[in-house]
A = this chain, B = another copy of it.
Amino acid sequence: MSAVPAIAAFDLATWSTATLDRVESALSAWVAPDTADDDGHEAPAALREAMRYAVLDGGKRLRPLLVLAGRAAVAGAEPEGMARALDDAALRAACAVELIHAYSLVHDDMPCMDNDVLRRGKPTVHVRFGEAQALLAGDALQALAFELLTAEQATAPAGVQARLCRLLARAAGCEGMAGGQAIDLASIGRALSEEQLRDMHRLKTGALLQGSVMMGAACCDPESSCSTQALQSLSAYGAALGLAFQVVDDILDVTADSATLGKTAGKDAAQDKPTYVSVLGLARSQAYAQELLGQALEALAGAGLADTRALRALADMVVNRST
């Protein structure tokens, strides 16, 4: 930590707590429990219950924090009304990316995928609500993510809204998260090179983490939009952070226990999945995670960004976390 003095000057816990208060309130309001619609007809209450179960009261919310830290990195001297609209867009983006993450966990846990029964210390959605409802809840959460970004109440310029949809769709789709999961599926029981492993994780978890940073960065004033250099710096930061997250995940899968993780530990090895630990060994994986942290911090230096303290602290947290 001593090599990174800026981190010491920033209290991540205080910032995270305040930030997540807003995110949790917004998620609870936007993934609403009931829904007398315009015509007063009965709403599919069971589906909404499954959606709320999947989203609320769980998770570290890393992706929303990255979105809002990304917004802080580009926030400038915007006119007050514009600043409010962009802050609203960033909050919507933070929730949207969490809905995508939540839906991916619901589908990933299903019997035809990882067949996991425990998530964040609770029964998984299909265990609690049945497979069909879990499938639909995941589908509906993905749609809701895009609805949040473009809701009639959204006040950001339409160009910002459209860019947020584009970034989220790319990060979630076949050249992002879903594509990475498909490669993962095909890799079980196969020996992967380090490069193939990196490609898989770059899509499977990296795309959405990097996308979170870039969505935050997209919440900037169209009149004085972010410099290309600043966006490239944030993109490099996001790529390094996304990879570091996965390397550390693989490390924790062998070094932590299920109670600490809140999910089944050791399942990668049990399922014969290639991981950084299986390819590089534990010590080299740990060194690689620190190297990626260095790359992420370096990318932020001197890029003409506004306030990168939260991004720096989050990178440190991702690499040095214990759960």
Q: Are B143 and A173 in contact (CB under 8 A)?
A: yes
A169 with B146: in contact, given A135-B110, A135-B135, A140-B174 (CB under 8 Å)?
Answer: yes
Q: Are B144 and A174 in contact (CB under 8 A)?
A: yes
**Which B residues are CB-close (under 8 A) to A178?**
47, 136, 139-140, 143
Q: Are B179 and A44 in contact (CB under 8 A)?
A: yes
Q: Are A47 and B110 in contact (CB under 8 A)?
A: no
In angstroms, how far is the closest chain B Cβ from the Cβ of A165?
4
Q: Which of B132, B144, B173 contacts A144 (CB under 8 A)?
A: B173
Q: Which 6 A-B pairs have the closest CB atoms?
A: A143-B173, A112-B131, A147-B169, A47-B182, A140-B178, A158-B158
Q: Does A35 contact B (CB under 8 A)?
A: yes
Interface set, chain A 189-205, CB cutoff 8 A to B? 196, 199, 202-203
Q: Which of B152, B168, B174 contacts A44 (CB under 8 A)?
A: B174
Q: Does A133 contact B (CB under 8 A)?
A: yes
Q: Does A172 contact B (CB under 8 A)?
A: yes
Q: Which of B143, B158, B185, B203 contacts A132 (CB under 8 A)?
A: B185
Q: Are B147 and A132 in contact (CB under 8 A)?
A: no
List 10 other contacts, CB 8 Å, given A43-B175, A48-B174, A112-B130: A44-B183, A46-B182, A107-B136, A107-B139, A110-B135, A136-B178, A143-B170, A145-B169, A158-B161, A165-B165
A150 with B133: in contact, given A143-B174, A158-B158 (CB under 8 Å)?
Answer: no
Interface of A is mostly: helix
Q: Which of B132, B149, B180 contacts A113 (CB under 8 A)?
A: B132
Q: Are B43 and A179 in contact (CB under 8 A)?
A: yes
Instruction: Give the nearest-CB partner of A38 in chain B.
Output: B175
Q: Does A242 contact B (CB under 8 A)?
A: no
Interface set, chain A 156-178, CB cutoff 8 A to B? 157-159, 161-163, 165-166, 168-170, 172-176, 178
**Which B residues are CB-close (under 8 A) to A60?**
none
Q: Which of B41, B136, B149, B199 contacts A185 (CB under 8 A)?
A: B136
> Taking the full assembly, how many copies of this chain does it contain?
2
**Which B residues are CB-close (under 8 A) to A149?**
165
Q: Does A269 contact B (CB under 8 A)?
A: no
A170 to B308, CA, bound (A): 36
In angstroms, how far is the closest chain B Cβ from the Cβ of A12?
31
* Interface hub of A48, A166, A170 (most chain B Cβ within 10 A): A166
Q: Are B140 and A142 in contact (CB under 8 A)?
A: no
Q: Are B185 and A165 in contact (CB under 8 A)?
A: no
Some 26 contacts from A to B, beta carbons below 8 A apart, are A35-B174, A41-B202, A42-B183, A42-B199, A43-B174, A43-B175, A44-B179, A44-B182, A44-B186, A47-B182, A110-B112, A112-B135, A113-B132, A132-B185, A139-B139, A140-B182, A143-B169, A143-B170, A143-B172, A143-B173, A143-B178, A145-B169, A147-B173, A150-B166, A158-B159, A165-B165
A37 to B43, CA, bound (A): 42
Interface set, chain A 93-118, CB cutoff 8 A to B? 103-104, 107, 110, 112-113
